[in-house]
Structure 1
């Protein structure tokens, strides 16, 4: 690798000026950074279900743009109440935001024959099951379906209804989307201050010097600024995955600074001047830090194996941030230190320090009982691996939310009152070669039978279809008539209702939709329901009629299963690549195997914990394994580099192990404390999977430290490795 230390140390002001200039440019671009969340962001690319969904949107219209405003209704509905409700509806109708608005006013007008209203008002659940609550259904125009514009619409809805003390509940997918974004923003506000405080305390405790606290903090702040600037410039916003990027860079990016400053102190305690100490430290650490950055980046880049764009973006931006932190560690920190060298006064290392005593006890234990450590590690791994037998992937869309959150409570209440607001679409398609219309009496008969079956599965949910509309109109014209009627009557009904059924049949008239609003379902329940629907259709429909189940909820839950398979495949690739890096680095297959075993055990430990705790594997948890593997290997690399150097200085294997644990182990202990503390902060997230990601990461990295300072040296003692000698040191 090119040695940049002479330029950095001889031209520190130029280096800092360039960093300041780049940082200013990126900071300016952050102003345009956007937050947004759509359930479609969670869809897998190039999967049949995703293609069917977007084909559905092309044929019909969006189904995730419906607001539901719930309000109290009096025991006896009076004209005054209807007048007040009409006032609200008129205000909403006069706004530019909505395509369609349905409320109790429509039912009242129908009953009193005042004016024509949407047929949907007779098909939707406008009143709750206990008749204590009413609802207003509003369909949002596509032009207003962005975060900023939806926020404006939601504020408008609240201001319009505030003057009416009817205990309003605001629900629907647009509300869910915006609330998710608000939760993401709140999470970042909750995460950054405590993570920064943890860094300050940890760095102050380790180095006992204000400059050694400020410089790593500035390094990760600049790194986060650069990455957010890059995201903004490339048109990528913060979503349900990438909103964690700044926090994770704070947690992960500081480890390079800790290792560099720890090595610098070793040379300064030898009474070398600042410039020489920096030059030697940068020479020693540049390769090691590059390789640890590489292994960490591999863990995140393994997410490219995912079929979901936002997961891929998350991996790429964190991997880029890891390398930017590496570059800044070797440029920004040395430049500042060389300018402020007179401010640095290093104290003699206190050998009675608690951490040093702990590491000395660990080294003595490892030297005395390496075989027992290996056997104990194998036994514990086998025990914990049994937990993997209980792993599951079951999840639902609302399982991301804490049950105490306002959004979760509102959505569950709406489920109880009106049957749910999560969209599911069933598309009935006929073969082009069959010359019958989709409103043909034969088709309508089969669809009616099918829809009765669907309604039996979800008796309290809202379902709208061409068949239901035609049947309702027929009933209003001739209550005694059976459906389907003769074809001539059906043709007349179809012509009569065309203005209100355009979104229920495609332009070519080869597909019709059965549109439902469902409660929150788990992926297992939904799979079972889809299977039953397909079995029913296969046994009751003619061969030329078929169904496809789609909609944001079914596709998102199916994608969850795809993603888990993709991420575990990515973990396997990351494991192979990192093993190859380790083996090629030390030109030894044995060292490659020895170095990876202590990092595989924590992954098995975490998977076992998930199984025993009954925590289902969801995307934020599945990404933990490859990410933690990449981070955990860093300590193994630093340990092996230091051990390599010690072996060149002494032929005593056990002394080399002891010296490595007591020196590099100190920086490993500190970086792990920072990482674990930072990940534990994430456990306060509003989103349950994000909180679980923090817990699993903290557990995995804690176990990785233990195995790196016990099992790894024990294996090096039992299976001695002859290292290929190089001039560079760690």
Structure 2
């Protein structure tokens, strides 16, 4: 019984007090040096599995995936899409010609419209050429008559449609020099072959008309998404290649050794391959958000790899046998790396509680990437270093002086002005809290589009000429359940139609109430519905007559607050009109409101991440004082970056809050490595407080600068993305890391010096900073010289 009790006490002590700051996860690295052949086989097997996935790497271009399951407006959009379908997947073809009224030119445009309708990817089109009008004899006739002989005839026909037909008002330009053809895609074929195949097929159809008098442009959500997808794939290739090249170059500059740089770069290379393979195994494809994870894994792996190699070479230059130096580095750096992985993992995990499938996938992919990066560092890195020693690798000279140049300044500032500088840092950090409460969420659709998008330009020209490409829907419940719309339901639809039109502008709304020009001429609604065809009929009223759809067309570019105000006014007007159950929807409505909800949730996630990571640091080091001291240098970069967003007017966007959260998780890493070395100096090396601060800065100051430079250089490439949202992510990430370097290199040492009396008794804490256990090169395992309580 006493034996069991003793074992249980040792187990509890191992979990709580008598453990490393890495909570024992560094044992993976120690197991690698103990069983190198077994771990090498495991590394090779997993590498083969991941590399086998890379050829099927792809990016899912469905932007709706980002907002899936994000709340009320997503549910409304889903119900709307299931009931009526939407215009969100339609492709708009803008056809311009200065002499469009020429009979020969108008017939060429008609042929183009019919060829598009016959395309394999089209289930139908809507244009002035496909519209038919009731002929009064129970049949229908083309709205644009065939065989017209003079420009005046053509001009009269187009003007008549443009002025009197509600659907054609948005498809014929007022100057009669352009028409819009809306292509309704075959969603089954698009699902099988992808939007790119559909767009390529349509462009092939349009290529026949390139030498004609017509100027043709494609736009619409599928084209925008295709451009975003192409940009995302190009970005990923650039980010990986440039990020890897820059990281290797900086390692070469820092270490002044080609093979040393190769050793630093090898682990990130493997970590990225493992991350790509794992994401594909989990999700089957990347999204616009998860594609960023590989870049984050790359730069994080480079930073941790640099810390590892820096320490290994430092021990080697101090006279330690190189294989022994690998083991010692694992014992010192391994726990700190485990803790930095946990803090980054917490940052990613905090995002998972936010609504939206895209954010949750990003959180999960990032968390998996953190684990993979740590496993890679604890297995691949020691195996490579020992292999390098066996192959005759020689220790390079001391690191480049340029990396350590700011260290004496930071050290002098801390030793001479520790207290006043600490007070200044504390005041500045507190003041930076103010913008945190002032900044507001913002959504802008053009931020999701590629820079210089021709499809966006075409959409804007449609906005200016004929209406809008961004649909705004109101789903209206009907009482009479008449498929041809009874008089009471017609009045309901007309009321909603007028409410929406009052907000979006005259002639910018279509519904069953739009067809009065034909019904006033003596045609029944059934005749009118039969004339427009079954496909378009379903865009007005359901087959059972239970629901109607009112569709408005907004400008492509509209401020998020303006859209929210429009929605609020329309919902209020509909409620005041006594119409219950009506539901506002649309992709733009969804993205605007969902982004607002997601961003506010992410703000809470960011605050939770900061709090949890500070608690984690306190628990890991067994000291609340250490956690409180680390709060200022870690909160300063996040609050400073958020203040920049507020001052620049950029507001909080989806990727900006994610960037802040992840940047915080990574920025904490340098703080942990510095505190780990400081505590190691105090406890294991029994240094005095100020000497421990000085030794820590001299020992790893250069490594902190080098890792920050690698992180910034590797991520700054993201700031040049053609996708503004991704570019913003990169810009904020780099800014946060740059401010974090100021916090770790200048603020943290000053705070440690200023709190010297507060930190005098840290040596009595039993939590270890390095776990001394037996290894092949350290069989005794009795190198633990820590001070125990009472010693």
- Do both share a fold (TM > 0.5)? yes
**Matching of residue 269 in structure 1 with residue 317 in structure 2:** yes
1:551-592 deviation per Cα after TM superposition (whole angstroms, max 9, x unaligned): 111011111001111111111221222122111112222221
Mean Cα displacement is larger for which, 624-633 or 372-381?
Answer: 372-381
- Contact 2:344 2:665 (C-alpha < 8 Å) held by counterparts: yes
Partner of 1:346: 395
Partner of 1:110: 143
* 2:56 aligned counterpart, secondary structure: coil
- Contact 2:256 2:397 (C-alpha < 8 Å) held by counterparts: no
Deviation at 1:219, TM superposition (A): 1.6
Partner of 1:510: 546
Partner of 1:178: 226
Task: Kindly tell me the number of residue pairs found equivalent between the two proteins.
Answer: 712
Among 553, 559, 562, the alignment partner of 1:522 is: 559
C-alpha spacing 1:532/1:99, structure 2 compared with 1 (3 Å): same
Partner of 1:450: 496
User: Following the alignment from structure 1 to structure 2, what is the Cα–Cα distance between the partners of residues 442 and 4?
Assistant: 73
Matches within 5 A, 1:183-222: 183-222=231-270
Partner of 1:399: 447
User: Following the alignment from structure 1 to structure 2, what is the Cα–Cα distance between the partners of residues 235 and 383?
Assistant: 42
Matches within 5 A, 1:541-580: 541=577, 543-580=578-615
1:128-165 deviation per Cα after TM superposition (whole angstroms, max 9, x unaligned): 23322122111112113349432122112212222323
Structure 1: segments with no counterpart, 5+ residues: 479-488
**Matching of residue 309 in structure 1 with residue 357 in structure 2:** yes
User: Following the alignment from structure 2 to structure 1, what is the Cα–Cα distance between the partners of residues 187 and 166?
Assistant: 22
- Contact 2:167 2:510 (C-alpha < 8 Å) held by counterparts: no
* 1:513 aligned counterpart, secondary structure: strand
Partner of 1:481: none
**Matching of residue 605 in structure 1 with residue 640 in structure 2:** yes
Deviation at 1:69, TM superposition (A): 0.7
Partner of 2:571: 534
Deviation at 1:494, TM superposition (A): 6.1
1:214-255 deviation per Cα after TM superposition (whole angstroms, max 9, x unaligned): 233222222222222122223432221112122222112212
- Contact 2:307 2:703 (C-alpha < 8 Å) held by counterparts: yes
Mean Cα displacement is larger for which, 248-257 or 646-655?
Answer: 646-655
C-alpha spacing 1:420/1:598, structure 2 compared with 1 (3 Å): same
Deviation at 1:448, TM superposition (A): 2.0
Partner of 1:474: 519
Partner of 2:718: 682
Partner of 1:286: 334
Among 25, 30, 39, the alignment partner of 2:63 is: 39
**Matching of residue 157 in structure 1 with residue 192 in structure 2:** no
Deviation at 1:622, TM superposition (A): 0.9
* 1:710 aligned counterpart, secondary structure: helix
User: Following the alignment from structure 1 to structure 2, what is the Cα–Cα distance between the partners of residues 26 and 6?
Assistant: 24
Matches within 5 A, 1:649-728: 649-719=685-755, 720-721=758-759, 722-723=761-762, 724-728=765-769
Deviation at 1:32, TM superposition (A): 2.5
RMSD (CA atoms):
2.8
Partner of 2:383: 335
**Matching of residue 459 in structure 1 with residue 459 in structure 2:** no
Deviation at 1:493, TM superposition (A): 5.8
The alignment's TM-score, normalised by the length of structure 2, stands at: 0.84
- Contact 1:367 1:714 (C-alpha < 8 Å) held by counterparts: yes
Partner of 2:154: none
- Contact 2:442 2:651 (C-alpha < 8 Å) held by counterparts: yes
Partner of 1:729: 770
User: Following the alignment from structure 1 to structure 2, what is the Cα–Cα distance between the partners of residues 728 and 538?
Assistant: 64
Structure 2: segments with no counterpart, 5+ residues: 1-23, 133-141, 149-160, 772-791
Among 39, 46, 53, the alignment partner of 1:22 is: 46
Deviation at 1:600, TM superposition (A): 0.8
Deviation at 1:379, TM superposition (A): 3.6
* 1:69 aligned counterpart, secondary structure: strand
Mean Cα displacement is larger for which, 557-566 or 31-40?
Answer: 31-40
1:619-650 deviation per Cα after TM superposition (whole angstroms, max 9, x unaligned): 00011222111111111111111111211334
Mean Cα displacement is larger for which, 330-339 or 564-573?
Answer: 330-339
User: Following the alignment from structure 2 to structure 1, what is the Cα–Cα distance between the partners of residues 543 and 342?
Assistant: 53
1:6-44 deviation per Cα after TM superposition (whole angstroms, max 9, x unaligned): 653365455334323322222222222332222322325
Among 673, 686, 695, the alignment partner of 1:638 is: 673
Partner of 2:371: 323
Among 593, 604, 627, the alignment partner of 1:592 is: 627
Among 268, 273, 277, the alignment partner of 1:229 is: 277
1:152-196 deviation per Cα after TM superposition (whole angstroms, max 9, x unaligned): 221122122223232211011111121111111121233223212
C-alpha spacing 1:358/1:627, structure 2 compared with 1 (3 Å): same
C-alpha spacing 1:68/1:205, structure 2 compared with 1 (3 Å): same
User: Following the alignment from structure 1 to structure 2, what is the Cα–Cα distance between the partners of residues 122 and 586?
Assistant: 69
- Contact 2:127 2:181 (C-alpha < 8 Å) held by counterparts: yes
Mean Cα displacement is larger for which, 434-443 or 679-688?
Answer: 434-443
- Contact 2:220 2:455 (C-alpha < 8 Å) held by counterparts: no
The alignment's TM-score, normalised by the length of structure 1, stands at: 0.91
User: Following the alignment from structure 1 to structure 2, what is the Cα–Cα distance between the partners of residues 10 and 287?
Assistant: 17
**Matching of residue 99 in structure 1 with residue 123 in structure 2:** yes
C-alpha spacing 1:89/1:651, structure 2 compared with 1 (3 Å): closer
**Matching of residue 625 in structure 1 with residue 697 in structure 2:** no
